[in-house]
Every structure is written in C-alpha cells, then in structure tokens.
Amino acid sequence: MKESLDFIYKQQKELSVIGGIGDLLGWDQMTYMPPRGADDRSEQTALISKMSHEKIISDEFWKHIQILSENIDDLSEKDKIVVKRLKKDVEKSRKVPSEFVERFAKITTLAYQSWEKARTKNDFKIFAVDLEKIIELEKEYCGYINFPGPRYDCLLDDYEEGMTVEKLRIEFTYLKKGIIEILDKIKSSKIFEKQQEIKFKLNEEKQRFLCNIVIEKMKLPNDRSRLDVSTHPFTTGMGDDDVRITTSYNRPNPLFSFFSTIHEAGHALYELGMPKGEYKDTVISDSPSSGLHESQSRFWENMIGRSKEFWKYFYPVFKKTAPAHFKDITFNSWYNIVNQVRPSLIRIEADELTYCLHVILRFEIEIGLMDEKISVNELSQIWNEKMDEMLGVVPKNDVEGVLQDMHWSGGGIGYFPTYAIGTIYSAQIFRKISQDNKNLLSEIRNAEFENILDWLRKNIHEYGCLMDADDIIKKACGQGLNSKVFVDYLKDKYYEIYQI
C-alpha cells in the first residue's frame, strides 16, 4: 500500500511536470517561435505527448491504482478521492490503443492543413475528405470507450464529464427558443433599426494600456502571470505559479483585445486558484470540465465586463485614453455600443445574445454527424439553412460558414457545447453572487473585484475536480445547469437596452 501510494503520487507529480513542459512548447509556438522553428517544435511536442501518454497508460501505474482500489476502505479520505479519480481517468485512457492515438494525431495534423487550404481556396471539398476520416475515427473512439447511450455522450464526456445529449437538449432547446424570442423583439425595435456598426480605432499602444489596467484591476498577479500576443487569444498554465494569457491587437474591432483579455484573465484566475495544499500535484488540482472553465472566462467577460456598472468605471478610463474618439459618445450610447446585438456569421465575433445560437447550431450538426443522420457532403448546405433559421443571416461562402472554426480539424467534436454550458453557468454564478453580496454593484462600479474573486475561489476554484462541474455549480448556486437563469438575465438586460 505504502509503495503503491508513493508510486501514484510520484507518477502524478511527473505527469504534472511533463504537462508543464508541453504547455511551454505550445505557448512559445503561438507567441514567439520563429516560423521555421515549426518542424523541430512538432518533434519536441510529439516526444512530450508520447512520454505523457506512456506514463498514463503504463502497466505499473495501473497495477498500483488497482492495488489501492481493491483496498480503498483502508485509505485516508484524501487518498480515496485521488485513487477514485485516477482509476476513472486511467481506465478510460487505457481503453484506447496507442496505435489509434498515433493514427488520430497523424490524421488531425493533415486535416488541419487541408482545413487551412480549404479556407484559402474557399472550397469545403478540400477539407471534406479529411473530415470524413475524422468522423470515422471519432466513431472508432466511441467504440473503444463503449459508453451506453448515443455516441455523442461519449465525446461530450471527454470535456464535460457526466453531461449527456438528453440533458443538454432540454437546456439548449429552452435557450434557443428564449434567445430567438428576444432577438425577434429586438429586431422589431426602433433602436435596432437605427443602430450603426461600431467604427472607431485604438492604436496598439492604447489597447495594450487598457488591457493592462483591466488585468491589474482583476488582480491577475504579475509575478505569476503575463500577457502576450498571439493570433488567437488563449490561456496556458505551465506551472502552479505560471499561468499566461494572450490577446491580439490587430482585429477590426478595437474592443476585441480588451474583452478577450478579460476572458482569458478569467481562465487564468481559475487556473491560479486551483487547490494547492494537500492536492497540489495531484489529478484533483485541475478543472473538472471545459464548461466550468468557460464559466470563469464568460463570467468576467460578460457578467462583469459587459455590465453597466463595469463601464461606470471604465468608460472614463477609455475616454481619457482616447479623448478624440469619445468626445461625441455619451455613457449610455457607449454602453449600448458595447452590447449592440447584430446577428452575424462568425461565432467568435458574435454579440452576447446571439453567441449561443452559433454553439447550438454546431451541437445539432455534430449530433447528426455522429448519429449518421447528417453526412459530410451536405454539411455546407445544412449549415447555411440553420444560420438562416436561427439568425436570419446566410453565409456567402464556406469560409464565412462551415469552414470558420478549426475545432473539427483537430477532432474536437463534442467541445462546442462547453461554450454555451460555461455561458449558462456564468449567469447562474452571477445571480448567486448578487444574492450573497449586497454591495456587488457598487464594488463593480469602483472596479473593486476582491470580493468577487474571493467568492469564485471559495465556491468554484478551490474544488479543483473534487466534484464534477454540475455538482460544484449545484453546491455553489443551489441548482445545476439551468438555462432559464441565463435567458432571464438576457431579457432583463436587452429589453432595457432596446427599450422593449
């Protein structure tokens, strides 16, 4: 027992060290690596992935996990929790043959290239061949895991343990209906009719200045984090005290960098808040789900960052930073600009209201692909029909449509729903914090976020994956995933803005 315990803790520690190395390789590739470093980098990354995978599925590791599982009653509470978590994770990993993992990695590498090429040539067919292969691989994967119920449950489980198509369908149906109802009312409003596209510019230096102010206010510690630049913003934690975020300053919308920085800082605060103490360097010191992770970024980005109170503090800051742009913009019109609803084609540029419709569209399509009710060759057409049905806009071409996201090229089927799950959770969290803290609005107005961060640490972050995501939310907010809370929030907010 002692030997087995020593082994599993040492193994987890090593996996955590190896994971950190892999994260640095990835971060550097996206931020600073000279372009031609890519070939060597891919070999470095492959070596680290292989090492990590071999350690996870090693027979010795499994042997010790089994010994401990058979004697689970003799373990301390902490050891019990760690062993149960490990058994679940390792058992799942061991179901998948290494040969499959390699094959999957090869095909997704090629698929990423064909996806890029398809975008350049604006020709979905170039990507379709590889996407077919990926769908087949995903089915093969589900075969190894051998879950009861629909295949999509098995894919969902990789990102959102315990979540099922059945549960999600109920929430997403309600959400879709709710958003479309609000959207229809907005579209018939006078304000919508008159509203114009946001057109103003902020140079990189000013954008950078504003991003640095907001992460300072959010208490992202600069001795444990940093902000860099990459094409697509992301967060990566390469150590307990080293979690980095990125943004991009050259997007058409100059607010992109500001909101994406808030979003990524939300992820980073979560990573930095993971349980240390007795669970340091164990599987417990990790997020239980992508949806819960996203709830943290969405919370800061939308619930805080797009709120009227937040802009009471930041509108003057923006005005001072770019006086020329703001001289004709009142606080109210600025708040409306920040929250302008405008059904559009690209998910990552969508407004707060319509964003989840983009996600639900992908969810419906992915289920169809896995159930064999949708075939790859009709994807483009189905995509466009659904866009028209839900958002009332139709892509002129596949680059604006089915080719816009890279996720499928990497085999990430089942991931998209976590964006909407996180968004729903974020509204539930916000409602609960509002109930718990009567000074919340005045704190936000003064950009004083200590109590908010404190609440998140105690109720979300410090659980790591001691429970699954929905149970953490249940304990924190009184109920699990509930899209009604989010729809109510949207109604309150957007009916006011559009005077409905």
Helix (H, G, I), strand (E, B) or coil at 235: strand
Site for its own copies in 152-181 (CB under 8 A): none
- Of the pair 225, 426, the CB lying nearest its own copies is at 225
- Name residues whose C-beta falls within 8 Å of residue 438's C-beta, 6 or more positions apart in sequence: none
Nearer to its own copies, 45 or 164 (CB): 45
| One residue of 47, 72, 170, 198 binding its own copies per CB under 8 A | 47
CB of 308 to its own copies, least distance (A): 34
Of 16-24, 184-192, 250-258, 449-457, the segment contacting its own copies by CB under 8 A is 16-24
Torsion over CA: 315, 316, 317, 318 (sign) = positive
Residue 102 sits in the site that holds its own copies (CB under 8 A): no
Residues 6+ apart with CB under 8 A from 285: 16, 240, 274, 275, 276, 279, 464
Task: Supply the minimum distance, in Å, between the C-beta of residue 97 and its own copies.
Answer: 23
**242: β partners:** 239
Count of chain residues binding its own copies (CB under 8 A): 34
Residue 277 C-beta: closest distance to its own copies, Å: 15
Residues ≥6 apart with Cβ < 8 Å to 148: none
Rule CB under 8 A: is residue 93 a binding residue for its own copies?
Answer: no
Residue 46 C-beta: closest distance to its own copies, Å? 8
The DSSP 8-state label assigned to residue 300 in this structure reads: I
CA-to-CA distance for 185 and 183, rounded, in angstroms?
Answer: 5
Q: Residue 193: beta bridge partners?
A: none
44 binds its own copies (CB under 8 A): yes
Q: How many helical (H) and strand (E) elements, i.e. helices and strands, does the chain have? A: 22, 3
Minimum gap (Å) between residue 215 Cβ and its own copies: 13
Contact status: 286 vs its own copies (CB under 8 A):
no
DSSP 344: -
150 C-beta neighbours (distance < 10 Å), count: 16
Residue 48 sits in the site that holds its own copies (CB under 8 A): yes
3-state SS, residue 166: helix
Q: With respect to its own copies, which residue has the nearer C-beta, 20 or 162?
A: 20
Which CB atom, from 162 or from 239, has the smaller least distance to its own copies? Answer: 239
- Please give the span between the terminal C-alpha atoms of the chain, in angstroms, as a whole number: 66
Q: Which is nearer to its own copies, 246 or 257 (CB)?
A: 246
**Does 264 qualify as catalytic in the annotation?**
yes
Interface of this chain with its own copies, residues 211 to 250, rule: CB under 8 A: 221-226, 228, 238-242, 244
Question: Which residue is catalytic, options 138, 160, 264, 271?
Answer: 264
21 contributes a contact to its own copies by CB under 8 A:
yes
Instruction: Compute the distance between CA of residue 486 and CA of residue 465 in angstroms, rounded to an integer.
Output: 24
Of residues 3, 39, 77, 99, which one binds its own copies by CB under 8 A? 39
Q: Of the candidates 7, 26, 30, 33, which one interacts with its own copies according to CB under 8 A?
A: 33
Q: Is 54 in the site for its own copies (CB under 8 A)?
A: no
Closest to its own copies by CB, 22 or 401:
22
Residue closer to its own copies, measured from CB, 43 or 450: 43
Query: Which C-beta is closer to its own copies: that of 39 or that of 77?
Result: 39
Q: What is the smallest separation between the CB atom of 55 and its own copies, expressed in angstroms?
A: 12
Beta pairing partners, 239: 242
Residue 384 tokens, joined: 């466009």
Q: How far is the CB of 354 from its own copies (least distance, A)?
A: 37
Choose among 220, 240, 310, 312: nearest CA to 280: 240
Residue 47 tokens read as 């070596």
Query: Is there binding between residue 389 and its own copies (CB under 8 A)?
Result: no
Which stretch in 12-20, 322-330, 407-415, 421-429 sits in contact with its own copies by CB under 8 A? 12-20
Q: What share of the chain is helix, strand, coil (3-state, %, to 5)?
A: 70, 5, 25
Q: Is 443 in the site for its own copies (CB under 8 A)?
A: no
Q: Give Rg (Cα) of the chain.
A: 23
Tell me if 36 contacts its own copies by CB under 8 A: yes
DSSP letter at 409 equals: G
Hey, is 168 helix, strand or coil? helix
Rounded Cα distance, 185 and 177, in Å: 13
Is position 277 an interface residue for its own copies (rule: CB under 8 A)?
Answer: no
**Which active-site residues does the annotation give?**
264
Residues of this chain that interact with its own copies (CB under 8 A) are 14, 17-18, 20-21, 24-25, 28, 32-37, 39-41, 43-44, 47-48, 221-226, 228, 238-242, 244
